[in-house]
Amino acid sequence: MTEKASTVHVRFADVSKRYGSVLAVKNLNLDVLRGEFLTLLGPSGSGKTTALMMLAGFEEPTSGEILVNDRRIDNVPPNRRGIGMVFQNYALFPHMTVAENLAFPLEVRGLGKAEIAERVASVLDMVRLPGLGERRPDQLSGGQQQRIAVARALIFKPTLVLMDEPLSALDKQLREQMQYEIKDIHARLGVTFVYVTHDQTEALTMSDRIAVFDAGTIQQLSDPATLYERPQTRFVAGFIGENNRFDGTVERVEGQQVAVRLVSGLTVRALAVGEDTARTGAPVVLSLRPERLALLHAGAEADNMLQATIRQTVYGGDHIRLVCTAEGVGGPAGQLVVKIPNRSGVPSLEPGAPVRLGWRTEDCLALAP
């Protein structure tokens, strides 16, 4: 994160939201730093969108306070909060031209025609769509409409911009392109972005920090690398990326490391995460990323090793994905997933072939079940 993100811009203080008997957001305490790109990530119904809508002013908290620049805003109407908003469906006016869509927020604020024209031209340049001001939304591609929606949110120069799954309607290639474009706009402008998505890759690609929501609470708030490499809970480990999971019991504790006995009887070493996993006899779930597993050649050693059998080989372009089985280890039927780089020297990997797998202790996390 850059130095500009050094002060609190937005604060959720003990914020809850209840719909009848359903508590959608539970005692949310979250600081959004000035100038950062913060993503609220989680499955459907986790509370992430409700939190964003409360910040935007389209939902009212049941309890707690929301502050922007140390001023309470949860009792301020949405149109007076000075927040830019990009919706999932873009919300462009179909009967207006692009220029008229962009001008609308400025006309509402009473700006003069000359300044409006200057700002419209400026934001069209910013989103790399100069000369399209006279077109209507239905004459634009999905990616162009998305850019115009971003431009409209930024044209009145807000310091805070909210985005609610703005890329979900785009195809994969365009979605990936727009991820980098939005991130580039953020870097150039230096305003605060709060972004909602259920797409893990999108969150990892774009964010300075990610708040992972589940059942109305934040499970972990970290930068992307920490979130992926060092998840703090079983939910986060399973939700962010792909991982192999082993059930076992702690046999002994050696500092931050633990020896864990698996169902198969094999003992492996792992890194303990939290006090609950750093005690003898504790049940744990081991989390191991597929790319952290290695195929061991004859004579090679690793901190942890086991024998397995290849059941399926999947060509993934830059990598090869192996589905292996090992009795008493891994997911259903002892299944393990291994990802290895696709490069010269990779041995023949046919279904039915025996392999030795190995991994480092620090790449295997012991989490509370």
* Among candidate residues 210, 328, 219, the one with its CA nearest the CA of residue 263: 328
Q: Evaluate if residue 195 carries a pLDDT over 90.
A: yes
256/193 same-domain check: no
Q: How many domains does the chain have?
A: 2
198/311 same-domain check: no
pLDDT score for 318: 85
Q: What mean pLDDT, rounded, does the chain reach?
A: 91
Contact between residue 5 and residue 37 where contact means Cβ atoms under 8 Å apart: no
pLDDT score for 85: 92
207/283 same-domain check: no
Range of the domain at 106: 8-235
3-state secondary structure of 369: coil
Q: Evaluate if residue 151 carries a pLDDT over 80.
A: yes
pLDDT score for 316: 83
279/196 same-domain check: no
Note whether residue 207 is domain-resident.
yes
CA dihedral 143, 145, 149, 155 (to 10 degrees): 100
pLDDT score for 127: 87
264/349 same-domain check: yes
Task: Tell me the pLDDT tens digit for each residue of 82-129.
Answer: 999 998 877 888 999 999 999 998 988 888 999 999 999 999 998 888
208/270 same-domain check: no
Rounded to whole angstroms, how far apart are CA atoms 182 and 170?
A: 14
159/255 same-domain check: no
3-state secondary structure of 67: strand
Instruction: Indicate which CATH number applies to the domain containing 313.
Output: 2.40.50.100
274/226 same-domain check: no
Note whether residue 3 is domain-resident.
no
Q: Evaluate if residue 368 carries a pLDDT over 90.
A: yes
221/246 same-domain check: no
Among the three residues 235, 270, 302, which one is the final residue of a domain in this structure? 235
pLDDT score for 346: 59
Q: What is the token pair recorded at 11?
A: 């604060």
Residue that wins the pLDDT comparison between 315 and 366 = 366
Q: Evaluate if residue 343 carries a pLDDT over 80.
A: no
